[in-house]
Amino acid sequence: LAPQQAGFDIFERNFGSVLTNERTQGERIRIEGRVFDGIGTVLKDVLIEIWQANAAGRYAHPADRQPGKAEDPEFRGWGRSCTDFDTGVYTFETIKPGVVTGRNGRFMAPHINVWVVARGINLGLNTRLYFSDEAEANAKDAVLNIIEWEARRATLVAQRSPGTGTGASGVPVYRFDIRLQGEGETVFFDI
Amino acid sequence: MRAPAPDAEYLMRDTTSHPPALTPAYKTSVLRSPRLAPISLQQSLSEVTAPVFRAEEFGPLDHDLILNASKDGLPIGERIVVHGYVHDQLGRPVPNALVEVWQANASGRYRHKKDQYIGALDPNFGGCGRMLTDAHGYYAYRTIRPGPYPWRNRVNDWRPAHIHYAISGSGWVQRLITQMYFEGDPLIATCPILRIVPSEEQIRGLIALQDTSAFVQLDSRAYRFDIVLRGQRATLFENAVQA
């Protein structure tokens, strides 16, 4: 799925971890994190994909017919990232999504859908990334609120910190670590 | 039957027909499987939508693994065509689905930094391909049949010949990675990864059948492999909000 990462070139255009171009609308953000196994080892062979709405809260898909939300032709809303072979860090450069209306008109806070696959993971794991600076919205979110163990909800909240430097490295960073098993285990969804 | 509304929800995944997360005979799963039960979500727009791909994003050889990494000649190995249909559980074709494949070469060696197997690399074989299904859900690609290879699980475990698949359909809930095997391969009976699939019927669903009618004379043999994604059911009653 990521031939360049494997060490060779084959396709002219590769799918990657940068979801934006210079014309994409919305606040630029960077997502960074690592994936840990049941004894806290950082995994270095994980592939992660994300699927998200644009800055207006609209998905680039024909089934999205939410009224009053504009399409952004410069944003597909999907990306793929591999953890680094040395550090285990994965990254995405994207934009912060707007609010998407949930099932039966219920409120959903801004979020990104995350899919995790790797050696030893028999069926891809689904989770969601929420944002630490959206505490008020998160408290009303229809999905977070079905997790009856309140302490587990925090595993889905990425922590914001200001970026350092210029250009792509100067944008706010959201750190989202994923714990597959054990203490602080990330909430996974059967969707 | 009424066609489903584009945002109609998908049928529940039948977890009894998939491998569980924890399968100790496949050792790597032991520390990489969640201990807590997944939380079931009723689907929203976030789950029933998925990325859309366009034909012009793909190169003319993206689905031809015999030629797409060729440097100074043809790769060595058995020439095969693999083809089939992607449809959902209700039998509807899934058009415009992204099908990505990757595999070892005829020696059972991957072109990947981390593969140290003694089996020889082939300078003319890359091992990756991708394509979109057509309006009928049909896909086809051409490749070299991969060889089996050893792996560190038990000390003498060998994978049957297989091709990895990733499929992105019309909804995020259909996202699927799987592996395709070849009819008649005796390693299928003993593979610890394949044996995590809970039923023989589901295992059969992962085995491509030799398709003699699609052989290309004096050129290639062929295998047929169909893929079933989750079905999208019609919305027969509207979801009025009960205030």
pLDDT digits (tens, 9 = 90+) for B49-88: 999 999 999 999 999 999 999 999 999 999 999 999 999 9
Residue B110 known to be catalytic: yes
pLDDT digits (tens, 9 = 90+) for B147-178: 999 999 999 999 999 999 999 999 999 999 99
Mean pLDDT score of chain B, rounded to an integer?
95
Residue B162 known to be catalytic: yes
Query: Which 3 state secondary structure label does DSSP give B17?
Result: helix
How many residues would you count in chain B?
243
Q: What is the mean pLDDT of residues B15-39?
A: 97
Residue of A42, A45, A61, A107 to mutate when probing chain B, most B C-beta within 10 A: A61
pLDDT of residue B2 exceeding 60, the answer is no
Residue B241 has a pLDDT of: 56
Residue B206 has a pLDDT of: 98
Check if B118 contacts A (Cβ < 8 Å). no
Cβ atoms within 10 Å, residue A71:
13
Percent of chain B residues past pLDDT 70, beyond the cut? 95
Residue B240 has a pLDDT of: 59
Give B-chain residues touching A64 at CB under 8 angstroms.
7, 45, 49
Q: In angstroms, what CA-CA distances link B115 with A36, A67, A69, B59?
A: 23, 50, 47, 27
Which residues of chain A form beta strands (DSSP E)?
A: 28-33, 35-36, 46-51, 78-82, 90-95, 111-118, 125-131, 157-161, 173-175, 178-179, 189-190
SS3 content of chain B, % helix, strand, coil (to 5): 15, 25, 60
Angstrom distance (rounded) from CA A122 to CA A188: 14
- Report ipTM for this prediction: 0.96
A113 contacts: CB under 8 Å, gap ≥ 6: A50, A51, A52, A126, A128, B46, B47, B172
| Closest CB to A101 among B41, B45, B166 | B45
Residue of B31, B121, B232, B237 to mutate when probing chain A, most A C-beta within 10 A: B31
B119 contacts: CB under 8 Å, gap ≥ 6: B104, B105, B107, B108, B109, B147, B149
Residue A5 has a pLDDT of: 87
Helical spans, DSSP H, in B25-155: 29-32, 45-48
pLDDT band (50, 70, 90) for residue A136: very high
Angstrom distance (rounded) from CA B44 to CA A102: 5
**Residue whose pair of structure tokens reads 């960074």 in the numeric block:** A32
pLDDT digits (tens, 9 = 90+) for B54-63: 999 999 999 9
Residue B159 known to be catalytic: yes
pTM of the model as a whole: 0.96
Residue B239 has a pLDDT of: 60
Nearest to residue B196, comparing CAs of B34, B31, B30, B36?
B30
DSSP B45: H
Do A143 and B239 make contact, defined as CB atoms within 8 angstroms? no
Of B10, B139, B149, B181, which is the active-site residue? B149
Angstrom distance (rounded) from CA A22 to CA A4: 23
pLDDT band (50, 70, 90) for residue B8: confident
Residue A119 has a pLDDT of: 98
Percent of chain A residues past pLDDT 70, beyond the cut? 99
Do B32 and A181 make contact, defined as CB atoms within 8 angstroms? yes
Cα-to-chain-centroid distance, residue A123: 18
> Cβ(B64)–Cβ(B141) under 8 Å?
yes
Query: Which 3 state secondary structure label does DSSP give A147?
Result: coil
Angstrom distance (rounded) from CA A82 to CA A44: 8
For the ranges A13-17, A104-108, B19-23, B233-237, which has the lowest average pLDDT?
B233-237
Helical spans, DSSP H, in chain B: 29-32, 45-48, 200-204
Residue B234 has a pLDDT of: 79
Q: What is the mean pLDDT of residues A160-173?
A: 84
Residue B243 has a pLDDT of: 43
Residues 86-145 of A with CB under 8 A from B: 100-106, 108, 111, 113, 115, 117-126, 128, 142-143
pLDDT of residue B235 exceeding 80, the answer is no
Integer distance in angstroms from the first to the last C-alpha of chain B? 31
- Dihedral sign for Cα atoms in the order A179, A185, A190, B5: negative
pLDDT band (50, 70, 90) for residue A164: confident
Percent of chain B residues past pLDDT 90, beyond the cut? 92
Give B-chain residues touching A129 at CB under 8 angstroms.
none
> Cβ(B133)–Cβ(B95) under 8 Å?
yes
Residue B1 has a pLDDT of: 46
pLDDT of residue B200 exceeding 80, the answer is yes
